[in-house]
Amino acid sequence: MSVIQSLVDEYRRYKALAEAAIAQVGDEELGHAGHDGGNSIEMLIRHIAGNLKSRFTEFRTSDGEKPWRHRDDEFESAGLSRTALLQVWEESWSVLFVELEKLGDGDLSSTVTVRRQPLRIDEALHRSLAHTAYHVGQIVFMAKAMRGGGWRTLSIPKGKSEEYNQKATGETAAAHAKKLMER
Amino acid sequence: MAAAASSKYASSDLRQLLFLIDTAYDRVSWHGPNLRGSLRGMTPALAAWRPAVERHNIWELIVHAAYWKYVAWRRLTGAKRGSFPLAGSNFLARPVENTKAALQADLDLLDEMHRVLREAAAAVPAGALDLGSAQRGVTKRALLTGVAAHDLYHAGQIQLLKRLERTCRAEARQREGG
């Protein structure tokens, strides 16, 4: 497996985790602010999307923080419908995956810039994956709080770890993502 | 010559993976708090606080992260199962004792599991990152990338739990005062 492929698989895992969580909350709940004025799921979706789209549009030829991105606005409610929100989400992931498809492992030591700071491509990709995983964890946390007892778990069900260990089926990131998408 | 170039590439490749797991855990990171950073100044009361009866507390996330670092270490090294210092797997109920010493013991466990995993990762021979681990279909590279992302996934949640606990505590104080 190539470096790029392992990153693609991990990105797909976190995309699928977020989507499986988002699917469990009601349309109105997407816009509910977190406690103490914290971010809503809608804001987190738009923030991840804004980050990915900005970083990976013309990934190798322009700075990763685009002049057209308004990061602060991502943390204000835009009142988007679920459909519109998911469209923004999908568009940004599509920009990422198209760009990753163009990369080979031989490109990893080349340099891109983010906010005028030069970064090796592998470092830029690792930073982006880290950022995405961090906020997807928050989306899942909030969705789980909203669903309470009706939550459908996204990983190993409670009390089933030993059983799972005997017959693990979702071990690779790609297999885990596939299982989540098939639900 | 070709072998030397390949070895150099693999070594830089491994350094980048180590950088990824370091910054996800305890080295200064661009993406905000990493896992260990999210636990700075943790108290037993905060670590044991649950947002609802069936929800995990921060303490359980600490042990959960330690457990999966152990699993990754085991898969990386091919070590036999059963050497995790605590009984149980995945999510272990915490706290057993709600004391500073008990919390510190679990934080130390997390640090130790990270240390041995990192040590094993650093010892992966050049060119072996894309070989399978002791887990069907998962390469050593995928394993390490996954561990780093897992740390941050839960770091983001710990940050939310801390904020939620602070809000709930302030609301409770207000109710008592009013």
* DSSP string computed for A119-152: EEHHHHHHHHHHHHHHHHHHHHHHHHHHHGGGPP
Q: Establish if B142 touches chain A: CB-CB under 8 angstroms.
A: yes
User: What is the torsional sign of CA B70, B74, A12, A145?
Assistant: negative
First-to-last alpha carbon distance for chain A, in angstroms, is 27
| Dist CA B175 CA B178 (whole Å) | 5
* A102: Cβ contacts below 8 Å, ≥ 6 apart: none
Structure-block tokens of residue A25 = 């909350």
Share of chain B above pLDDT 90, in %: 69
pLDDT at B9 > cutoff 50: no
Share of chain A above pLDDT 70, in %: 92
Task: Supply the range of the domain harboring residue A15.
Answer: 3-181
Total domains in chain A come to 1
Cβ separation of A172 and B54 shorter than 8 Å? no
What pLDDT was estimated at residue A103?
96
B137 or B88: whose pLDDT is higher?
Answer: B88
Cβ separation of A137 and B152 shorter than 8 Å? yes
**Best residue of B90, B91, B147 to probe chain A, by most A CBs closer than 10 Å:** B90
What pLDDT was estimated at residue A174?
87
pLDDT at B6 > cutoff 70: no
| Dist CA A178 CA B130 (whole Å) | 22
Share of chain B above pLDDT 70, in %: 92
Q: What is the ipTM of this complex?
A: 0.90
Q: Do residues B157 and A34 make contact, with C-beta atoms less than 8 angstroms apart?
A: no
Dump pLDDT digits (tens) for A136-182. 999 999 999 999 889 998 877 666 666 666 666 667 888 888 888 88
Cβ separation of A130 and B20 shorter than 8 Å? yes
A156 or A34: whose pLDDT is higher?
Answer: A34
pLDDT band at B3 (very low <50, low <70, confident <90, very high): very low
Any idea which residue has 């983010």 for tokens? A114
Using a CB-CB distance cutoff of 8 angstroms, which residues of chain A are in contact with residue B150?
133
Cβ separation of B54 and A149 shorter than 8 Å? yes
- CA A79 to chain B, closest CA, distance in angstroms equals 22
Task: Provide the β-strand partners of residue A119.
Answer: A112
Q: Do residues A106 and A55 make contact, with C-beta atoms less than 8 angstroms apart?
A: no
Per-residue HEC secondary structure of A4-59 comes to HHHHHHHHHHHHHHHHHHHCCCCCHHHHCCEHHHECCHHHHHHHHHHHHHHHHCCC
Dump pLDDT digits (tens) for B19-56. 999 999 999 887 789 999 999 999 999 999 999 988 99
Dump pLDDT digits (tens) for B121-165. 999 987 889 888 766 678 999 999 999 999 999 999 999 999 999
**Where residue A61 sits, what CATH number does that domain have?**
1.20.120.450
CA angle A158, A159, A164 (to 5 degrees): 95
Nearest to A134 among B88, B138, B155 (CB): B155
Using a CB-CB distance cutoff of 8 angstroms, which residues of chain B are in contact with residue A10?
142, 145-146, 149
Dump pLDDT digits (tens) for A7-22. 999 999 999 999 999 9
Using a CB-CB distance cutoff of 8 angstroms, which residues of chain B are in contact with residue A119?
none
Nearest CA in chain A to B164: A35
A76-90, B5-19, B47-61, range with the lowest pLDDT: B5-19
Using a CB-CB distance cutoff of 8 angstroms, which residues of chain A are in contact with residue B21?
none
A vs B, Cβ pairs < 8 A, gives: 120
A31-45, A167-181, B70-84, B88-102, range with the lowest pLDDT: A167-181
What pLDDT was estimated at residue B94?
97
Nearest to A9 among B142, B150, B160 (CB): B142
Cβ separation of A161 and B141 shorter than 8 Å? no
What pLDDT was estimated at residue A34?
83
pLDDT band at A183 (very low <50, low <70, confident <90, very high): confident
Mean confidence (pLDDT) of chain A: 92
- CA B155 to chain A, closest CA, distance in angstroms equals 7
What amino acid occupies position B159?
Answer: Q
Any idea which residue has 């950088």 for tokens? B19
DSSP sequence for B148-169: HHHHHHHHHHHHHHHHHHHHHH
Tell me the average pLDDT across A31-58. 94
What pLDDT was estimated at residue A106?
92
- CA B92 to chain A, closest CA, distance in angstroms equals 10
